[in-house]
Structure 1
Amino acid sequence: MDMIEKLNERLRSYQIDCTDSQLQQFATYYDLLIDWNKKMNLTAITDPEEVIVKHFFDSITPAFFYPFSQQRMIDIGAGAGFPSIPLKICFPDLKLTLLDSLNKRITFLQHLIETLNLKNVDFIHGRAEEIARKSDLRESFDIAISRAVAKLNVLAELSLPFIKLKGSMIALKGARANEEIAEAQKAIQLLGGVFVKEHNFDLPEHFGERTIIIINKTKSTPIKYPRKSGTPNREPIQ
């Protein structure tokens, strides 16, 4: 697929050089995404160029600003695998956990990971509010990452309990994230985090503005958080 080679060229400009095997994994990912999307709602984006830029390239952009290597990472609300699986393809030594509340999406992800022959990937069907209370998962990840899941003050409550001290929360957002960042300052501090940086940029081919937000974990999250399922969305920390 010419689009896959174009993806490779764009990544090379950011010092990410994919092997032929990795490029084939992206091509297979695209084929499986389109095939499974016919029987379940995985994405509204199906045009090849848009998938390559808006899903694959967009998912990898955090690596332009943050080092991904030999870390344990959880994807909160993994959906169709964005952003974590494109990152896993580029950085195979990531230890990845995919968390999603819909079992049918977990089924797709399991098939995808098996077909792509990716190693060190775990799957969890459940809600972040409940899973973050499990002793073997709470404050055990170097990175919690997410894309298009919730507003930042809600996302902080869903993500920070999973992150160990000195770990990081990475949120992929669209344009104009400044308001979300301002609204989330109390939640971030309360949950043991500190805002580090936002990176703003445009996707190729005029496909939109993006913001990547990085938050570091500096203190343990109080045991009362996250609150019970649904509460963070209904009653965000203000």
Structure 2
Amino acid sequence: MFHVKHSNDTAPLTIHRVRSMLVAAGIGVSDLQVEALTRHGNSVLLANNTINLTAVIEPEDFVRLHIIDSLLPLGMVEKALGAALDMGTGAGYPGIPWAIGGVSMVLCEATKKKAALLEQWAQEIPVKAEVVSMRAEEYAQVARGRFDTVVARAVSALPSLLELSSPLLRVGGRLVAMKGNPSVDEIAHAEHAAGVLGMSATGMMEYALPGGGEKRTLCVYEKVEEPSIRLPRRSGLAQRRPFGG
């Protein structure tokens, strides 16, 4: 198990670098939040030497493509997030930055080794975030209707995300899907799936990351009613046989 203590002189990410890039991106955070974001980023990069967490290891790219990419959507989501679940959180993006920002987070990660690291980081940062080591379908069996918000970042196609999030959301809750540049077909398939799953599209915002210009699309869906089918289905079916095509 990793035990991480970094200094600003030896760690890949420095507090100064993270703060200056966040300011340039128009993201306002406190000194304590910058320190926590930096500590988490350095923990991810260190653990990445042992377990595959990210292909992005150059410091400025890491800040832009993980930290800034996680935090920018917070300013785009208009109403309170309430109890939020990061579905398939991986190394903790966006869930840990959101928790550092004050959102009540549960981090759902099926891979046991990654979940163990998330538990450790939540204690070391420290940040208030519950870690659940289950597939989303399994977790929905015990957490049905628990969440106001489900966020997913580059996890799966939109129809699959709609299916996985629907049983976890209360009616009136929202899926916030952080996508790159979804195709017309993916969006159309999601529209067909949404009707079956009790979900309805409420917003789709296109933007670009500062510095590199990478395209992003924030897709927001609201759960307007209970689904017309029984959910969750067996693990893996949402990806292998998604509704909507």
> What is the TM-score of this pair, normalised by structure 2?
0.89
Which of 84, 90, 102 in structure 2 is aligned with 1:79?
A: 90
Pairs within 5 Å for 1:102-141: 102-119=111-128, 121-134=129-142, 137-141=143-147
Which of 34, 38, 58 is 1:23 aligned to?
Answer: 34
**Identity over aligned pairs, percent:** 29
Matched residue, 1:61: 72
Letter in 2 for 1:165: V
In structure 1, what is the Cα distance between the partners aligned to 2:57 and 2:95?
Answer: 19
* 1:23-62 superposed matches below 5 A: 23-62=34-73
Runs (4 or more) in structure 1 with deviation over 6 Å come to none
1:100-126 Cα offsets, whole Å, 9 max, x none, are 11010101111111111112x211111
Letter of the 1:105 partner, please give it.
K
1:149 aligns with 2:160: no
Within the alignment, does 1:195 sit opposite 2:206 as a pair? no
Q: 1:112 to 1:69 in 2, by over 3 A?
A: farther
For 2:160 and 2:94, the matched residues in 1 are separated by: 19
Cα distance change, pair 214–42 in 1 and its aligned pair in 2 (3 A) = same
2:156 aligned partner, one-letter code: A
Would the alpha carbon gap of residues 25 and 145 (structure 1) be closer, same or farther in structure 2, given more than 3 Å must change? same
What are structure 2's unaligned runs of at least 5 residues? Answer: 1-13
- SS of 1:58's partner is helix
- Say if 1:69 and 1:194 are closer, same or farther in 2 by CA, change over 3 A: closer
* Aligned twin of 2:110: 101
Match of residue 22 from structure 2:
8
Partner amino acid, structure 2, of 1:97: V
Structural RMSD (CA): 1.6
User: Is the 8 Å Cα contact of residues 176 and 218 (structure 2) preserved in structure 1?
Assistant: yes
- The answer to whether residue 177 in structure 2 is matched with residue 171 in structure 1 is yes
In structure 2, how many angstroms separate the alpha carbons of the residues matched to 1:177 and 1:63? 23
- Aligned in 2, Cα 1:85/1:155: closer, same or farther, shift over 3 Å? same
**Structure 1 residue 131, shift from structure 2 partner:** 1.4
